[in-house]
């Protein structure tokens, strides 16, 4: 998929911003792209691009709650899990796998969903890069995971589901907590522990190692406790990082299969 860039000027601070538009997007008519805050311009922009790549309109959507407010508007985690169910787990896996996630058809719901999703990761989930918000679902790049936010359905795309068991468990545990911030922090802490474990595997595992020993290594290096059943999620993160070589060195015990 080819990507073209279009330059726009931020209507608030007049700084130049670069917008990425895929050929799939602009060949199908007017494209809406949301551009998150950049290093020079702190504004979040909704950009409308014509099929000939001219810019029809640039709109500042900071008021939509994406930036600048200490408590960005989002659904509660419990609300998102209730509304999107297993689709939300897919979306988490999608971000962990560095796949492009496209939210379409309802910009308002898309932005709300993005806000909630992005809070679950320590590393930034970049709007316009990791997550695209587009008006029409057909505007999504061909290889993306696409969710229609009006009808709450998956349009197309697939994810590696080997971390789902862990992710579902984190979400289920989190939404038993009444305080939304606490629920969000709980999931974020769990996911960041998986990422950290993947870092440690990457740094330290040089030869075939039993999964149990690998977990002990993580605990000793960083005092992070990962459950045995979460090791598959760690291996998925390694594969997504292009480190299948490391993932293959971890030997799961036959009797430990869950
Ligand atoms: Zn600006």
Question: How many Å lie between the centroid of ligand 1 and the Cα of residue 43?
Answer: 4
* Structural domain contains residue 173: no
The count of other CB atoms within 10 Å of the CB of residue 147 is 28
Identify whether residues 127 and 44 lie together within a single domain: yes
Identify whether residues 152 and 186 lie together within a single domain: no
The per-residue pLDDT for 27 is 64
* Structural domain contains residue 215: yes
Q: Decide: 59 and 11 in contact? Cβ < 8 Å.
A: yes
Question: How many Å lie between the centroid of ligand 1 and the Cα of residue 13?
Answer: 4
The per-residue pLDDT for 239 is 96
Question: How many Å lie between the centroid of ligand 1 and the Cα of residue 18?
Answer: 12
Identify whether residues 55 and 155 lie together within a single domain: yes
Residue from 121, 98, 91 nearest 188 by CA:
121
Question: How many Å lie between the centroid of ligand 1 and the Cα of residue 78?
Answer: 33
Q: How confident is the prediction along the chain (258 residues), in pLDDT tens digits per residue?
A: 677 889 999 988 999 999 888 776 666 666 778 888 888 898 888 888 887 888 877 877 765 544 433 334 568 999 999 989 999 999 999 999 999 999 988 888 888 898 899 889 988 888 877 888 887 888 788 889 999 999 999 999 999 999 999 999 999 999 999 899 899 999 999 999 999 999 999 999 999 999 999 999 999 998 888 999 999 999 999 999 999 999 999 998 766 554
Domains in the chain, number: 2
Question: How many Å lie between the centroid of ligand 1 and the Cα of residue 21?
Answer: 19
Identify whether residues 59 and 93 lie together within a single domain: yes
* Structural domain contains residue 41: yes
Question: How many Å lie between the centroid of ligand 1 and the Cα of residue 57?
Answer: 15
In which domain, by residue range, is 205 found?
Answer: 181-256
* Structural domain contains residue 174: no
Question: How many Å lie between the centroid of ligand 1 and the Cα of residue 23?
Answer: 26
Identify whether residues 98 and 215 lie together within a single domain: no
Question: How many Å lie between the centroid of ligand 1 and the Cα of residue 30?
Answer: 23
* Structural domain contains residue 72: yes
Span 116-168, pLDDT tens digits: 998 899 888 888 778 888 878 887 888 899 999 999 999 999 999 999 999 99
Identify whether residues 74 and 106 lie together within a single domain: yes
* Structural domain contains residue 27: yes
* Structural domain contains residue 170: no
Question: How many Å lie between the centroid of ligand 1 and the Cα of residue 73?
Answer: 20
Identify whether residues 76 and 125 lie together within a single domain: yes
The per-residue pLDDT for 66 is 47
Question: How many Å lie between the centroid of ligand 1 and the Cα of residue 53?
Answer: 21
Question: How many Å lie between the centroid of ligand 1 and the Cα of residue 161?
Answer: 38
Angstrom CA distances, 184 to 85, 122, 176, 251, stand at 16, 11, 11, 32
3-state helix, strand, coil in the chain (%, to 5): 45, 20, 35
Question: How many Å lie between the centroid of ligand 1 and the Cα of residue 133?
Answer: 19
Question: How many Å lie between the centroid of ligand 1 and the Cα of residue 45?
Answer: 8
Question: How many Å lie between the centroid of ligand 1 and the Cα of residue 9?
Answer: 8
Question: How many Å lie between the centroid of ligand 1 and the Cα of residue 184?
Answer: 29
Identify whether residues 10 and 82 lie together within a single domain: yes
Identify whether residues 116 and 20 lie together within a single domain: yes
* Structural domain contains residue 113: yes
Identify whether residues 94 and 187 lie together within a single domain: no
Identify whether residues 147 and 190 lie together within a single domain: no
Question: How many Å lie between the centroid of ligand 1 and the Cα of residue 100?
Answer: 25
Question: How many Å lie between the centroid of ligand 1 and the Cα of residue 164?
Answer: 38
Q: Decide: 42 and 119 in contact? Cβ < 8 Å.
A: no
d(CA 134, CA 141): 10
Identify whether residues 121 and 200 lie together within a single domain: no
């Amino acid at each position: 998929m080819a990507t073209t860039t279009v330059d726009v000027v931020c209507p608030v601070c007049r700084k130049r911003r670069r917008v990425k538009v895929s050929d799939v997007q602009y060949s199908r008519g007017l494209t809406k792209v949301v551009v998150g805050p950049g290093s020079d311009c702190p504004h979040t922009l909704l950009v409308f691009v014509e099929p000939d790549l001219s810019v029809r309109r640039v709109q500042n959507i900071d008021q939509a709650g994406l930036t600048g407010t200490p408590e960005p508007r989002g659904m509660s985690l419990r609300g998102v899990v209730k509304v999107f169910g297993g689709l939300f787990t897919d979306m988490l896996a999608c971000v962990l796998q560095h796949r492009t996630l496209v939210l379409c058809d309802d910009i308002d719901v898309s932005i709300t969903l993005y806000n909630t999703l992005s809070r679950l990761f320590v590393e930034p989930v970049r709007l316009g890069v990791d997550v695209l918000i587009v008006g029409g679902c057909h505007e999504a790049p061909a290889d993306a995971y696409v969710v229609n936010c009006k009808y709450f359905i998956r349009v197309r795309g697939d994810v590696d589901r080997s971390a789902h068991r862990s992710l579902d468990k984190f979400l289920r545990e989190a939404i038993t907590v009444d305080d939304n911030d606490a629920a969000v922090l709980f999931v974020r802490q769990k996911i960041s522990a998986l990422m950290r474990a993947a870092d440690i595997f990457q740094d330290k595992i040089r030869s075939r190692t039993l999964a149990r020993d690998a977990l002990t290594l993580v605990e000793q290096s960083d005092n992070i406790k990962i459950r045995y059943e979460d090791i598959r999620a760690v291996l998925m993160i390694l594969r997504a990082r292009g480190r299948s070589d490391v993932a293959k060195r971890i030997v799961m015990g036959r009797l430990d299969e869950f």
